[in-house]
Each structure stands twice: as C-alpha cells, then as structure tokens.
Amino acid sequence: MKKLLLLPLNAILLIILPSILEWPGMNCFSQPIRNWGTYYGGAGHDAATSVIVDGNGNVYLAGYTESLTDISTAGSQQPTHGGGGLDAFLVKFNSAGVRQWATYYGGPGEEGGINHGEISQSLAVDASGNIYLAGTTKSVTNISTSGSHQPAYGGGNSDAFLAKFSTSGGLLWGTYYGGAGNEFANSIAVDGSGDVYLGGSTDSPTAISTAGSHQPAFGGGFKDAFVVKFSSSGIRQWATYYGGAGEDYGRSLAADASGNVYLAGYTSYMTSNTTIATSGSHQPTHGGAYFDAYLVKFSSSGIRLWATYYGGSDGGDGGSSVAVDGNQNVYLSGNTESTAAISTLGNHQPAHGGGVYDAFLVKFSASGVRQWATYYGGTVEDHGNSVATDASGNVYLGGNTSSTNAISTPGSHQPTYGGGNFDAFVAKFSASGVLQWGTYYGGVGYDVGNSVAVNGCGQVYLAGGTSFSDKGISTPGSHQPVAAGGALDPSKVGDVFLAQFDGCASSISVATTGADICPGYCATVSANISGGNSPFTYSWNPSGQTTASIVVCPSSTTAYSVTITDASGATAVDTALVTIKPSSSCCSVTAVISSDPSSTVCVGQQVFISASGGTTYSWNTGATSAYITAAPSVTTTYSVTITDAAGCTGTGTLTVPVDPNCTATGIAQFNADALQVEVWPNPSNGEFRIGDLGLGIYNLDLYNVFGEKVYADKILNPESQIFSL
C-alpha cells in the first residue's frame, strides 16, 4: 500500500512543511513586484519554516540552523548555538528588511525535530506584539522556564516545545510538551483573547490530553494528532488527542475571532471514519487511498463542532495549512494525487495537472460547507505548503514546484521556472477562487516556499529554504545578498530566504454577483468595482459582453468571468456562477385566497377578498393589489394570478355566493374632501371595517337605520379600523 509522500526523500534536509498566518491586507490586484529579498544563514544548513507579521509591519522569521555564525545578534536571548546538530532560530526584521534582532533557541540536542521525514516549526503573534515559537526538541536543557507547564523533558526521542518572546526578543516563558514517546509540534495559533494553541503529532499515551476532553486517550495507532490550549501566561486550559488505530498527523492550526480553533492534517484509512469526521459533514468517510486530508473545528472550550475528510480514492491527499478570514471562512491547502473529489465546477483548475502531486486549495464556510476548490499544479510535482488571507478575503497560497507550466501568470515577478529540482511559488486568489497572479521564486538549485504572510499594506512575504541557487533569490543591498559560503559551493547544504512583494501597485478590485435560476429563465450578473481609476472597461467570458451588468440565459450551470481594466491599465478578475436549479425545486407557487365575510352575502353587499403567496398580483377584475373589495349583485367567481420573486406563477379562485332575495342597505360609501373611504361589510349588525384612510384626525359618527346617533369617536392617523356593533 503506497503511503502519502509529501516531499522527496532526496531533499529531506531542505524541504520543510509550513506554518501559516492570517493577517489583514489590502484587496488589490496587479502582478507582484518584489521589493527586496535576502538570504539568511551561515556555513551550515539553514532553512525557514514560518513567517509572520505584527500590527506595526515588522516581520518575524523562524526555522532551524546548524550554523554557528551569522544567525544571532549580540545581546539577544541566546547569542550562541546550543551545541546540538540543529537549533531553532527567531529573527525580527522591519518592513524594509533591516534586521532588528535575532536569537538561537536550543540546547545540546536538536531543535526542529524530524516528523515523518519532515522538519517543522511555527510562529504566531498576539495583538500586543508578543511572539510565540513552537517546534520540536531533543534537548533536555535551555528550553523551559521555571514554573512552566512542563519544565522537564518528557522522554522519548523528541518533545514539542512552546516559547513566548516579547517584541524586543526577551524570553517570557517556555515549556516542553510531551510524554514518554515522541512529540512533534507543527503549528501554533493565537486567538483574539490572547490564548495560544499548539498542534502536532504524538505517540505518547500520557501527558498529552486533559480529563473530559474530546479524546482523552491515545487512539492506539502509529501517531495521533493533538491540540492543546494555553492561556497567554502559559497555563494549560485543555488538550485532546485526535486520531485512531491508524496514522494521524496534525499539520496546521488556525483560530478565528470567536475563539474557535481549526486543526488540519492527514489521516490513514486504518482510522475509523467516526474518529475523524462527523456525520453530515462535507466528506464523512475516508476516500479510500492510504492518506486523506482532514479538517476539524473545535470551540474555544475544546468541543468538536464539525470535522471532515478531504480526499479522493485514487491517490494520497494531505492537509498542510489552514487559515481563517474575517468572515470565518476556512481555507485548507495541501497536496494531492487524487484525480477526483478535490475541485469544484468553474474553479481555476478543475483537473489534476498530471504530475505526481498537485497542490490544492479549498474554501469552507464557518459551518463546514465547501464553497469552492481548485487544483494548482502542472505536469511534474507541486506542493501547497502554506495559506494566508487578507482583510478583503483574498487568499494566498505558497509552496514549491518542479512544474514548468500552470504556476505563474504573464508579467509576474518570475514568469518562468528557474531550474533545478524545485522552485518556490506564491499565488493570490480572490475570495471567489479566481487566480489574480502567480509567480515562481527560485534559481537553478533547490528552492522551497514553506510559509506565506500578508501585512496590512498588502505586502506579501514568502519564506523558505534554498540550496545552490545564486540568482533570483536576493536583492542588492539586502541584509544578506549572497548565500553564506558561496551559492554554488557543493559543500553548502542550504540557506534561508525571505522575500517581500508589493501586492498594492494597483488598488482596483471587483466582486461579481451570481444567481440560482429555474430552467428557461434568465439572470442579471453584475460586476461591482472598488478602487481603480475610471473609465473602466469590461470583458465577460464566455458571453463577450462589455457592460457592467449582463443578462444571461444559460441552459446549464455556467461560470461567467469578467476582466476589469481601469484607465491606468490595472486589471481585476472575478467569476460569477449562474446555477440552474432542478426543475423539481422550481415553480411550486400556490395562491391562497379568502373573503370576509366568507358566507353568502346580500345583493350589493361589500366583500373584502384577499390573496397571499406572491410578490405581484393580477385579478380578473383588473386590480393588482393583494386584496380587492367587491359588491356583487349575483353569485360571482373571482380569480387571481400571483408571481413570486423567482418568476414562478400560481392561480387561485374564490366564488362569492349572493342571495337574490336579500338587498344590502345601511352604511354606505362616501367621499369626504376627495378622500375615498370604504366600509365593509355593508350593511352590518356585527363587526365592520373602515379602510383606505390617510394620515390625519377623523371624526367618526355612526347612525342606525332610524337616523339615531349610536356611536361617536375621534381617530388619529388610522390606516384601517375594526368596530363591533
């Protein structure tokens, strides 16, 4: 049975999987312009696994390093390497790429940790600018602080760790997290209350979960995922395993504004369906290949709200990164071999690109309903390692590729493949899944994009690892314009890279409105522009029309894309989906019709007849309101045709029986000051109504048939009145 291989074994020291960031950004569309790019590393092996941005535009970079120099700054928390094979590192740059401070983090073991053939660490930042670093360690010293949740190493080959730093780089607290087995920390997230979540994988049967949690016991397989929630001061709130009898890995976490937390990863077919997915979810059962991706949502108190598999039956699928936008839509990225069950109709790339793996990107609502999904890849191999969102709902996908097609857009920063085994890439999609731009990033060696982030100005950061690429990575005058030890030195294993792209060269954006219609009907599709410089030109496909709104009458569900160009040449693209509803769901409109009185009336007696169930009405009397009044002299049938908001119609009839031996007398219609007043039923010795009164003060006098006043009143601003005699 073939297992999911997320990355090639011959690149295992360089190729690393991601962490994620969601951060507000501007909704703007242009080809990305690189502002600056830099190497970061010494003579050893170095790679970046995570990048984040704070509210002041500072950017933080984390990863792992073997280098003894060129990593830390004097006076930092840990200015020297801890002595093991690998140390974690944390570095702060300002938005111009100038280093502010940097520190090692590690002891005599290895910080970074190898998880199923991958190396992974993660960063998060809170509203106060404090930084959280998560990873995996084999060191028994230099990790935890006194009085922390777990001050001592738990045992096994590795423990997870979690550390909190101030904005100036000082360690506030640090803790191990692990039992007698092996733990790997792969992701971290901070919610709006400042609580921090740690996620990863474990095979320890103890020291992981809390009593009463969603899954307090180890599932019994090779690995379980886990999630743990800490307060901002490092006190554990709750923790749970997530897995069963197979292999279950926790790859990425995200938290929304309500404190809900999302865990993504991948799981083997040996784990039971109910352990991973919930009933009624998007995909409640495993797709059938060895691994499927999964996505699960927990409340802030650790209660599972929903969970779903994501994968097909003919290949392995893995979830690598998750992000949440301001509307609590959830984005999942990853890698897939599957040729079905991944993409949706009308998306950017509906079919697998043909190589070993394609990246994928899928959007879910807050309740777990899939909105759209797409492949992203060419004819060789592509990995979706990181996803981030901005304040306008745009979504950014970062990863690595060895495909020479289907990655970049014309005019992008690097429209062609750089060569070597892999190039990094980053791509921007609109909230509706339309590709805005995409670019390669790399030279002739190994170049892998592991993390992507967006700041409040719409500047996009891509971070990862590079080896043997001496061109296309750094810019002149950057922090480190040359790879340490020489870019093509065969003894050089790899360096970190960090690049900033300006995503706001143009501020134009467009949002389209689609429709659900019945067969044979038409719909209006509109493009709504934000920003840009008028006049604007419109180009719709496939209709070919050139106006802001178009009327379309498709015979089947059709996606209509529009390209907007403003006076300065900036462009924006979006797609509207016009869905044809099943015939069975269309035009079931019923007209409900009634009369008052509902029994036989006298000749000339007024009757109030009303209908409901539609938005427009057409009576056989010519009236077009929801009700009519009549005074039939003979038994008469009244009919109405109603139309609802979808254009569906229905009819109703009502027969008013008239007694020819009874003639109506008594209260009459009158005209006062050009105001037509209707009284019904007429005559009456019980309840009657006065209607069609405008605003004002009215004197009401009632007389009996002998001309005697029997009632008097003053009425203020009535629309209608009901009286009983």
Compute the average pLDDT of residues 232-256: 97
How do residues 124-142 score in pLDDT, each as one tens digit?
999 999 999 999 999 999 9
Number of domains in the chain: 4
Q: Is residue 79 part of a domain?
A: no
Which residues constitute the domain of residue 434?
9-28+106-459
User: What confidence tier does 18 reach under pLDDT thresholds 50, 70, 90?
Assistant: very low
Tokens encoding 622: 């010519």
The verdict on 278 and 192 lying in the same domain is yes
649 and 702 belong to one structural domain: no
Alpha-carbon distance 232 to 224, whole Å? 25
Q: Are residues 226 and 200 located together in one domain of the fold?
A: yes
Q: Are 298 and 248 within one domain?
A: yes
Q: What is the pLDDT of residue 19?
A: 36
Domain C-terminal end among 662, 685, 706:
662
CB 314 within 8 A of CB 282: no
Helices (H) then strands (E): counts for the chain = 1, 51
Regarding whether 669 and 635 lie in a shared domain, the answer is no
Digit-coded pLDDT (tens) for 506-549: 467 788 888 888 888 899 999 888 877 677 889 999 888 999 99
Question: What is the SS3 assignment for 10?
Answer: helix
How sure is the predictor about 163, in pLDDT bands with cuts at 50, 70 and 90? very high
Q: Say whether both 169 and 215 belong to one domain.
A: yes
Using CA atoms, how far residue 254 sits from 53, 118, 276, 495, in Å, is 15, 20, 18, 28
For the cut 90, the answer to whether the pLDDT of residue 718 exceeds it is: no
CA distances from 318 to 205, 309, 475, 686 (A): 24, 10, 34, 75
DSSP 8-state symbol, 182: B
Decide which of 269 and 75 is more confident. Answer: 75
Position 20 pLDDT exceeds 80: no
251 and 342 assigned to the same domain? yes
Residue type, 62: A
Do 378 and 388 lie in a common domain?
Answer: yes
In a domain, 112, yes or no: yes
Q: Are the CB atoms for 426 and 409 separated by under 8 Å? A: no
φ/ψ region of 172 (left if φ > 0, alpha if ψ in -120 to 50, else beta) reads alpha
Does residue 400 lie in a domain region?
yes
59 and 455 in contact (C-beta within 8 Å)? Answer: yes
- State the average pLDDT over residues 655-667: 79
- Burial of 638: CB neighbours in 10 Å, binned 0-12, 13-18, 19+: buried
pLDDT over 50 at 668, yes or no:
no
Cis peptide before 410 (omega within 30 of 0): no
Structure-token pair, residue 456: 């409040």
In this structure, the strands spanning 459-467 and 118-119 are unpaired
CATH number for the domain spanning 619: value is: 2.60.40.10
Q: pLDDT category, 671, cuts 50, 70, 90?
A: very low
Which residues, at least 6 apart from 674, have a Cβ–Cβ distance to it below 8 Å?
none
Q: Which residue has the higher pLDDT, 212 or 392?
A: 212
Q: Say if 295 falls within a structural domain.
A: yes
Domain CATH for 407: 2.120.10
Q: What pLDDT is stored for residue 692 in this prediction?
A: 56
Domain boundary among 400, 426, 459: 459
In 3D space, the residue among 369, 363, 445 whose CA is nearest the CA of residue 400 turns out to be 445
Q: Give yes or no for residue 4 having a pLDDT over 60.
A: no
Tokens 């979830």 sit at which residue? 319
> Beta partners for 679?
690
Domain-located, residue 377:
yes
| Cβ neighbours around 417 below 10 Å, total | 20
**pLDDT higher than 50, residue 1:** no
pLDDT recorded at residue 529: 87
- The conformation of residue 247, written as its DSSP 8-state character, comes to B
Q: Give me the mean pLDDT over the 328-339 stretch.
A: 98
Do 347 and 255 fall within a single domain? yes
User: How many percent of the chain have pLDDT more than 70?
Assistant: 82
User: Which residues contact residue 298 at a Cβ distance below 8 angstroms, ignoring those fewer than 6 apart?
Assistant: 214, 227, 240, 260, 261, 262, 263, 304, 305
665 alpha carbon, distance to own chain's centre: 69
Residue 172 lies in a domain: yes
Q: Calculate mean pLDDT across residues 687-692.
A: 60
* Full-model pTM: 0.69
Please tell me whether residues 165 and 272 are part of one structural domain.
yes
pLDDT tens column, 165-216: 999 999 999 999 999 999 999 999 999 999 999 999 999 999 999 999 999 9
Share the mean pLDDT of the chain.
Answer: 85
Answer yes or no: do 353 and 454 share one domain.
Answer: yes
Mean pLDDT of 363-378: 98
Under 8 Å CB-to-CB from 390, ≥6 apart: which residues?
23, 24, 25, 26, 27, 396, 454, 458
DSSP E strands, 12-138: 33-40, 46-53, 59-65, 87-93, 99-105, 114-115, 118-119, 122-125, 131-137
Burial of 291 (0-12, 13-18, 19+ CB in 10 A): buried
Last residue of a domain, one of 662, 680, 712: 662
Give yes or no: residues 575 and 601 share one domain. Answer: no
For 215-238, the pLDDT digits (tens) are 999 999 999 999 999 999 999 999
The verdict on residue 99 lying in a domain is: no
Sheet holding 627-630, edge to edge: 592-596, 607-612, 627-630
User: At 698, is the pLDDT very low, low, confident or very high (cuts 50, 70, 90)?
Assistant: low
Predicted pLDDT at 605: 86
Q: Does residue 72 lie in a domain region? A: no
